[in-house]
């Protein structure tokens, strides 16, 4: 006999107890550096209820109980990943890609016409769309025979495993990716779209916590650190920007998200406006 299960109902909504809210704020800050402000109950619920449900817990309060009792590495990983995985799409903010193509890359290519080497870091790579967008753009610019190294990093190993695979759903390739590039660099794979090896091999993904020392990274010609600083407090932002500057070659460029700036956080960056966006040049 078939049993009907209502998967839509989920656990009854239970308010997060103020003590638990504070506990989660501290815990998430300690483990990932992400600042959860006072009124982000919906965010915690949206991100952490699925983690609770996976463990057959009915509420975030129960999840906090478990976390206090046994903060095992697996649960810690799940919570950090749930809080840090963010939306990404191909060619997000086309103005910045135009600025890369027309302002940042031409002088760099001129400078490197002998070595033909360019190094790029995508610092919040998530499922890889940004890194792969840059790779496709460079191929379209005719740099096929150049020695291009793109490093994509993220805090979440789970999301990077997806990025490495280079397989994207129809919904994902529908967003932001120009159709001519879709047919050129992807093959249809069932319902998904598989990125061709020619693009995949240009990018290496590895986990990295932006709050850690970046001495082992770089040097890079271009760093994309977009839409990630917004999650950190001022001191951490300053520290990250200072470290990033240390990974950049002289004359290298930093690209931040549209709502982010180096202003009051880091000096020694020249702010250059181009194509409706801003790029920051190391001075």
The yes or no reply on residue 91 touching another protein (CB under 8 A) is yes
3-state secondary structure of 254: strand
Tokens of residue 111, six digits? 């400078």
For another protein, the closer of residues 91 and 220 by Cβ is: 91
Minimum distance from residue 178 beta carbon to another protein (Å):
5
Comparison of 46 and 161: residue with beta carbon closer to another protein: 46
Angle (deg, nearest 10), helices 41-54 and 73-84: 140
Minimum distance between the CB of residue 162 and another protein, rounded to whole angstroms? 20
Are 240 and 254 in contact, with CB atoms under 8 Å apart? no
Judged by CB under 8 A, the chain residues 93 through 122 that form the site for another protein are 94
Based on the shown chain and the rule CB under 8 A, indicate whether residue 187 belongs to the binding site for another protein.
Answer: yes
Number of residues interacting with another protein: please give it, by CB under 8 A: 16
- Whether the CB-CB separation of 100 and 120 falls below 8 Å is answered with no
- Segment contacting another protein by CB under 8 A, of 107-115, 182-190, 211-219, 220-228: 182-190
Q: Which one of 18, 73, 142, 180 is in contact with another protein (CB under 8 A)?
A: 180
Residue placing its CB nearer to another protein in the complex, 153 or 227: 227
Binding-residue pattern over the window 153 to 172 for another protein, x denoting contact by CB under 8 A: -----------------xx-
Q: Which of 21, 186, 208, 232 binds another protein (CB under 8 A)?
A: 186
What are the strands, taking DSSP E only, across the chain? 117-122, 147-154, 167-168, 186-189, 192-195, 203-207, 220-225, 248-256, 269-274, 277-282
DSSP 79-124: HHHHHH-----TTSSHHHHHHIIIIIHHHHHHHTTTT-EEEEEETT
132 is an interface residue for another protein by CB under 8 A: no
Q: Shortest gap between Cβ of 198 and another protein (angstroms)? A: 16
Query: Would you count residue 175 as binding another protein (CB under 8 A)?
Result: yes
H or E segment and range at residue 29: helix 18-32
> What is residue 158's three-state secondary structure?
helix
Residues that bind another protein in the complex, under the rule CB under 8 A? 89, 91, 94, 170-171, 174-176, 178-180, 182-183, 186-188
């Amino acid at each position: 006999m078939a049993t009907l299960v209502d998967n839509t109902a989920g656990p009854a909504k239970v308010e997060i107890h103020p003590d638990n809210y504070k506990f989660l704020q501290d815990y998430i800050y300690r483990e990932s550096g992400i600042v959860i402000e006072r009124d982000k109950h919906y965010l915690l619920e949206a991100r952490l209820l699925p983690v609770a449900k996976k463990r057959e817990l009915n509420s975030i309060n129960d999840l906090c109980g478990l976390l206090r009792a046994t903060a095992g590495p697996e649960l810690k990983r799940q919570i950090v990943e749930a809080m840090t995985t963010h939306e990404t799409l191909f060619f997000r903010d086309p103005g910045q890609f135009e600025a890369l193509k027309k302002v940042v890359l031409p002088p760099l290519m001129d400078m490197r016409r002998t070595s033909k080497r360019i190094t790029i870091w995508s610092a919040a790579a998530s499922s890889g769309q940004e890194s792969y967008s840059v790779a496709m753009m460079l191929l379209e610019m005719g740099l096929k025979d150049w020695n291009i190294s793109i490093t994509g990093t993220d805090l979440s190993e789970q999301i990077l495993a997806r990025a490495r695979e280079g397989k994207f759903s129809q919904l994902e390739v529908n967003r932001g990716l120009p159709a001519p590039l879709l047919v050129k660099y992807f093959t249809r794979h069932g319902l998904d779209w598989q990125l061709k090896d020619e693009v995949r091999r240009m990018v290496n993904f590895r986990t990295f916590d932006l709050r850690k020392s970046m001495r082992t990274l770089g040097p890079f010609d271009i760093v994309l650190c977009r839409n990630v600083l917004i999650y950190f407090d001022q001191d951490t932002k300053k520290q990250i920007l200072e470290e990033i500057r240390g990974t950049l070659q002289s004359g290298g460029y930093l690209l931040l998200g549209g709502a982010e700036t180096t202003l009051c956080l880091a000096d020694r960056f020249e702010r250059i406006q181009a194509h409706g966006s801003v790029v920051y040049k190391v001075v």
